[in-house]
Amino acid sequence: MSSKADAAKAAESSGGSALGEIRALLDGLIAAHHQAVQTERLRAFREMAGEVAHDFNNTLSGILARAQLLLADVQDPDVRRSLRMIEQVALEGAWVVRRFQDFSRTRPARPFQSLDINQLVEEIAASARSRWNQQIAARGLSGEIRCETGPVPAVAGDMAELRQVLTSMALNALDAMPEGGNLTFRTGYEDGRVFCQVIDTGIGMSEQVRLRVFDPFFTTKREKGKGFGLSGAYAIVDRHGGEITVESEVGKGTAFTVWLPPESPVAEPVPASAPARVAAPAPAAAPAAAPAPATRSGAKILVVDDSEEVREVLRELLSRHGYTVVTVPDGESALVELGTRTFDLAMVDLGLPGISGLEVASRLKERWPGTHVALMTGYGDRMGPEDALAKGVDFVLSKPFSLDQLRSVVDHALTLDKTSRS
């Protein structure tokens, strides 16, 4: 009798153990499925964001350039005030587009360097601690910020970007503790990867929110933010070859974990600077008035862009300063023009229909090596300076560019041309 009872208990125990293993396996499969769906959704959005950013940059290029051209001509103070507002809105729009491009970017903006993740965490914790202590003291609450760093190998990464990731997570954690609480930074090394956790004891989030927390534009803070913080963090970590996971329970808190691969034993050398002939000016505050490019008598410029507005505004700007300007809408037409006359500078859009801007630049340099090429791009970082130089590109202008930035590139190109001819 006893043996039968023992057998029954053993069977029950074995069955319970098997059921537990099945449940754990199912939980793992569900989590993996959610991660795969999220990764695919964000991948698709990143591709779309890149295309949308390109189209918006073309539009903003026309708006910004027109406003700056009018500012150079108009003296009426009321009209100038309105033009300044248009200019400022265009620049703000350019900033939003750059956020899109940051999210859609798949390659690092700068060469990675060897980083001590513990040092970075301690710096961010110190900054957050100062802010948190002021907040809880003003509201009579309690809480603290702790650092629990473990021994970890160096990681290869972009210090500014990883700082942005961890700072964004820390600020979200502090916002999630309106009644005070504890924030813990924890680092370690597990399964061949470095991890950094940001753990709060705040309000937590529902499962529905947790599954969408990295979605672009998704935010639970309606009064502030555009929902780019955590989605941007996700994109940055992905560019670093890592991943972000999140665990949360309503009323108990949330834990974000950033996983990063350790630095390769053989680190790639970091170049001291980009090639000297490639300039990549970023959109900046516009000049007070459109300064005139330094005209070189007889200089001929070819503008190749599928946006009629961009073509026309560049024609107007460059023509009024004495240049001979020819505009065409595509690569095929550009090659025809190049075969009939000589140009000192070709300004070519990257995203041309048919023959791409890079292909135009490459063919142009093969046949007319004396013609300088400025590549105009609304795609952000689709190509680094080294790649551009290898394709025959001398300068890179990121749309939307100011008239001052345009002048800088034209001046430099014509100066190089004059020097090479003398």
Model pTM?
0.59
Query: Per-domain residue ranges for the chain?
Result: 2-104, 113-260, 300-421
- Report how far residue 375's alpha carbon sits from residue 358's, in angstroms, rounded to the nearest whole number: 8
Q: Are 128 and 166 in contact (CB under 8 A)?
A: no
Superfamily of domain 113-260 in CATH is: Histidine kinase-like ATPase, C-terminal domain (3.30.565.10)
Distance of CA 11 to the CA centre of its chain: 57
- Looking at CATH, the fold of the domain delimited by 2-104 is given as Helix Hairpins (1.10.287)
CATH number of 300-421: 3.40.50.2300
Q: Are 334 and 357 in contact (CB under 8 A)?
A: no
Residue 394: half-sphere exposure toward Cβ, Cα within 13 Å: 22
Query: pLDDT category, 103, cuts 50, 70, 90?
Result: low
Question: What letters, b where the CB count within 10 A reaches 16 and e where it falls short, cover 333-367?
Answer: bbbeebeeeebbbbbbbbbbeebbbbbbbbbbbee
Residue corresponding to tokens 């005139």: 292
Model confidence over 157-199: pLDDT tens digits?
999 999 999 999 999 899 999 999 999 999 999 999 999 999 9
Model confidence over 297-335: pLDDT tens digits?
569 999 999 989 889 989 988 988 889 999 999 999 999
Model confidence over 28-58: pLDDT tens digits?
666 565 666 666 666 666 666 666 777 787 7
User: In this predicted structure, what is the pLDDT of residue 384?
Assistant: 58
Does residue 106 or residue 136 have the better pLDDT?
136
Q: Flag whether pLDDT at 373 surpasses 60.
A: yes
- Report how far residue 360's alpha carbon sits from residue 152's, in angstroms, rounded to the nearest whole number: 48
| Ordered alpha helix ranges (H), 74-227 | 77-104, 117-139, 159-175, 207-212
